[in-house]
């Protein structure tokens, strides 16, 4: 719901599980195609107009990785996400995902996210899940952020320094509408849902009838 307000900023947008999984799988194909193109030429993608960095933004990630009731969609979502998170950075594909439950059961690919940000969490255990062992002792106190301070978070810098307390600025609905109007994506690519398979015209086989056997009684 929130992302839909600024969907003009996005090249592709999915709002249900089926289209979200298709979007992730399409991103995997594009990522692998770029990797084949760069193989033997360079070890690190350099963004350009013709080959930009691709950001896959996912809100409420657990809806795809844990709460989806269609087991096949769930499997496909976790597979595509793990592939993107493990192979995408070198070729310019970045996954930015948000979720409320940081347990491994909710996000099997949790360990593949190299940069994490912790907003207000329930306890020190959840803080350690998000920011790693030792984060609480180093000063990351996500579980002590006050409810009336939205946007406050702790982040671990890439340079190995202690956790930093940060705060995101407030972005209003009007600011999102204005940004969408001024900086709309050059083009928007629809997500194509394949048609369901057509029913077969072949007649179904009749069920096999159980064999009847009779027992002959012998007389003496």
Q: Could you give the CA distance from residue 193 to residue 173 in angstroms, rounded to a whole number?
A: 30
What is the value of pTM for the model shown?
0.83
Residue 201 forms part of a structural domain? no
Rama region for 100: left / alpha / beta (φ>0; ψ in -120 to 50; rest): alpha
Give the per-residue pLDDT at 215: 56
Largest CA distance in the chain: 103
Torsion sign over Cα 175, 176, 181, 186: positive
The domain that holds 64 is classified in CATH as 3.40.50.300
DSSP calls for 72-119: HHHHHHHHHHHHHHHHSGGGTEEEEE--S---TTT-TTGGG--S-EE-
Residue 78 forms part of a structural domain? yes
Residue 211 forms part of a structural domain? no
- Which of 110-124, 142-156, 203-217 shows the lowest per-residue confidence on average (mean pLDDT)? 203-217
Give the per-residue pLDDT at 202: 63
Give the per-residue pLDDT at 214: 56
Residue 158 forms part of a structural domain? yes
Q: Indicate the number of domains in the chain.
A: 1
Q: How many CA atoms lie within 13 A of 14 on its CB side?
A: 23
Which range of residues forms the domain containing residue 111? 3-182
Q: What percent of the chain is modeled with pLDDT above 90?
A: 78
Reduced to 3 states (helix: H, G, I; strand: E, B; else coil), residue 120 is coil
Residue 199 forms part of a structural domain? no
Q: Kindly list the distances between the CA atom of residue 133 and the CA atoms of 106, 114, 140, in Å, as whole numbers in the listed order.
A: 19, 14, 11
Residue 208 forms part of a structural domain? no
| DSSP label of 6 | G
Residue 171 forms part of a structural domain? yes
Residue 187 forms part of a structural domain? no
């Amino acid at each position: 719901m929130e992302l839909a307000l600024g969907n003009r900023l996005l090249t592709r947008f999915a709002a249900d599980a089926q289209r979200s999984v298709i979007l992730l799988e399409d991103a995997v194909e594009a990522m692998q195609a770029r990797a084949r193109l760069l193989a033997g030429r360079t070890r690190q993608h350099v963004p350009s107009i013709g080959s930009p960095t691709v950001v896959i933004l996912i809100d409420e990630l657990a809806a795809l990785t844990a709460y989806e009731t269609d087991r096949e969609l769930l499997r496909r979502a976790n597979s595509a996400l793990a592939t993107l998170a493990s192979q995408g950075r070198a070729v310019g594909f970045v996954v930015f995902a948000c979720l409320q439950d940081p347990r491994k059961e909710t996000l099997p690919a949790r360990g593949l996210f190299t940069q994490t940000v912790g907003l207000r969490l329930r306890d020190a255990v959840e803080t350690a899940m998000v920011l790693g062992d030792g984060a609480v002792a180093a000063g990351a106190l996500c579980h002590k952020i006050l409810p009336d301070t939205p946007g406050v978070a702790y982040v671990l810098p890439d340079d190995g320094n202690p956790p930093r307390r940060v705060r995101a600025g407030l972005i209003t609905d009007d600011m999102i509408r204005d940004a969408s109007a001024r900086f709309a994506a050059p083009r928007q690519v629809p997500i194509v849902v394949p048609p369901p398979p057509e029913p077969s015209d072949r007649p179904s086989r009749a069920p096999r009838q159980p064999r009847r056997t009779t027992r002959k009684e012998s007389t003496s």
